Structure 1
Amino acid sequence: MSEKEILEILGEKVALGERKTVSFNVAKLHTQNTIDVPVIIERSKKPGPTVLITAGIHGDEVNGIEIVRQIIAKGINKPKRGTIICIPVINVFGFIQMDREFPDGRDLNRVFPGSKEGSLASRVAHKLIKEIVPHVDLIMDFHTGGADRFNAAQIRIIKGEVILDELAEVFGAPFVLYSKNLNKSFRNTCYKLGIPMLLFEGGKSFHIDPNVTNTGVNGAKRVLNHLDMLSNKFKVSKPKKKCVFISSSKWIRANRSGMFKPSVKINSRVKKGDPIGNITDPYGSPSFPVKAPNDGYIFNINESPIVYQGDAIFHISTAVEA
């Protein structure tokens, strides 16, 4: 897509070299108060790609929101060429109520592409897809692990897309997880529209982890630098380790209910049979070890102190790309 001199978005016109914050409005609160979702647009005087940076599709995923906040606060979103559009909190309704879903109980990431006359979540999805996404060439969408499950910093992409493989490696997260696009998700809808997306996962709900945040911010800088969009005032560091591409994985589930303590750290490489945690009851009975079912990397740990039989407690790789 060649960048136009005038970008018309959400009823506003933004010229090359201009900065503007426009409002993404769908509905008022039940109190009739207007709620504004700021869309921050920075355009260079030089034409180039348009990159959309988003977070907060789920209202409880504050680590992703913090990453985009830092990108804006540090001026990383002011491009050397092209346009950068930032939406730090898409699901502002959930963010206000500290809830994952919308007030209508729907998961925004399961209603795309949405409908103009559908539920509240569906209307937000529809407006995003119809009025913002058509203007962009690449999306970086920042997420966080759900509930008490702490995700290692990772990029999720589908397999077989050369441009996504390249950009994921440039981003430089510790892991790249090949995963299918979920039906009615933001990622799947953009894929059908031919717009590449890097989906970042890291940390857990209602928690800001500085290591995950730094990984997300530095990864965004690397991608923008790769596209020749990053301002020359920013330094770009290489990842400390080469990222691991995970082609398959599985959840390790609790074989009993009780008090749970992991004994390995996130990002750890383990061998089959290694003890990685234990489950006990509150009455002083002997603990029951949790062992690795195979060699692999631990890239998600359930940090809840109480688990029930069948709960997912670790995510482990079962095959990685050579």
Structure 2
Amino acid sequence: MRRVIIAGQEILPGEFREININIARLPSHTQIDTPIYVARSKEDGPTLALIAGMHGDEINGMEIVRRIIDQGYNMVQRGTVVCMPVINVYGFLNYSREVPDGKDVNRSFPGSKNGSLASRVAYHLMNDVIPFIDCGIDFHTGGAMRSNYPQVRAVLREPHIVELAEAFCAPFTIDAPFRPNSLRKEASRKGKNIIVFEGGESLRFDLQAIEEGVAGTLRLMKHLGMIDSAPAPRESNRVIWNTSWIRAKHAGLFQPNVQAGQLVHRGDWVGTITDPFGEFKEEVKATETGYIIGLNNSPVINAGDALMHLGMDNFCRLDNLKED
């Protein structure tokens, strides 16, 4: 049987183990550890990493991984599941996306053992976990009062990554190039394929996003041969090749009259911008035909703010071409 080693510790067949990686300590001398939960079955199979809390305020991903552990879904029939519910413990403690020095962990890879806090978190992940897995899911949410409809982001020119995204079968699969210094990009350099699941809004539980995240993970496990059954998708998967933003032309109070996940056509009335004094009112129109994959929930907006994120599949692209 293959050896499974995580953070320098060998996990034997049929073993479950909690491993704590010490990153650093707070100014109060309180040690901060990143917990990793590793469950290995008695039968050989792939090693799947479930990573959440890269941004400390993105709690939907944490809840997805927590539910997988709580309901025993990580105890697979074949292979190994590595669960990391909270990568950025610092941000989690401070309700923050970043670590205390303001850096983004997901822009700090591959990291440095003696660098900034964000760089140290990235370093330990890249050296203690990523080299020893086969593939993974990185769970995220929308940020700053923006909610994302459940979606997988992946590089759709990479066949092995496409295979993972198709198996997960979220409502939307979005073609998303690698971002510099991100976990996805640096893991790919080591030959490890990671897809990103986005769902909901930061600092707010979104039941639909959480349930989609759990179900999609189980479908991926089944595809990898780790389990024998998984729930069928609730929605058909749509592949999004292009995206665009509807932005505010004026500052004011924004009220949408559409919902995330909805298909809108170019020219449709999708919301209203008013001022607090009853002197101004403007209808917001869709600039493209597309699905609403992200929605700004903040009522107070400035000129140029992103109001809605539209995603276009092949049908939408044809519709936009006809309108042109």
Which TM bucket (shorter chain)? over 0.9
**Structure 1: runs of 5+ lacking an equivalent:** none
Which residue is equivalent to 2:240?
Answer: 246
Q: What CA distance in whole angstroms lies between the structure 2 residues aligned with 1:258 and 1:106?
A: 31
Q: What CA distance in whole angstroms lies between the structure 2 residues aligned with 1:24 and 1:315?
A: 37
Q: How does 1:188-267 map to 2 (within 5 A)?
A: 188-230=185-227, 236-267=230-261
**Structure 2: runs of 5+ lacking an equivalent:** 318-324
Q: Answer yes or no: is the 8 Å Cα contact 2:147–2:294 preserved in 1.
A: yes
Q: How does 1:1-322 map to 2 (within 5 A)?
A: 4-5=2-3, 7-230=4-227, 236-320=230-314
Q: How many percent identity over aligned positions? A: 43
Q: Deviations over 1:268-312 (max 9, x none)?
A: 011110000110000112420110112111110000010000111
Deviation at 1:33, TM superposition (A): 1.3
The letter of the residue matching 1:223 is L
Q: Deviations over 1:118-160 (max 9, x none)?
A: 1111011011101110000011110000111110100000121
Deviation at 1:319, TM superposition (A): 4.3
Deviation at 1:29, TM superposition (A): 1.4
Counterpart secondary structure, 1:27: strand
Q: Deviations over 1:28-67 (max 9, x none)?
A: 1111112222100000111110000000000000011111
Q: Deviations over 1:88-119 (max 9, x none)?
A: 00000100111110012100010100111211
Q: What CA distance in whole angstroms lies between the structure 1 residues aligned with 2:163 and 2:8?
A: 35
Q: What CA distance in whole angstroms lies between the structure 2 residues aligned with 1:224 and 1:239?
A: 14
Q: Answer yes or no: is the 8 Å Cα contact 2:218–2:231 preserved in 1.
A: no
**What TM-score do the two structures reach when normalised by structure 2?**
0.94
**What TM-score do the two structures reach when normalised by structure 1?**
0.95
Counterpart secondary structure, 1:35: strand
Q: What CA distance in whole angstroms lies between the structure 2 residues aligned with 1:13 and 1:136?
A: 13
Q: What CA distance in whole angstroms lies between the structure 2 residues aligned with 1:169 and 1:14?
A: 30
Aligned residues: CA RMSD: 1.4
Deviation at 1:227, TM superposition (A): 1.2
Q: Deviations over 1:223-255 (max 9, x none)?
A: 00111212x5xx522112221100011111110
Q: Answer yes or no: is the 8 Å Cα contact 2:243–2:309 preserved in 1.
A: yes
The letter of the residue matching 2:258 is V
Which residue is equivalent to 2:322?
Answer: none
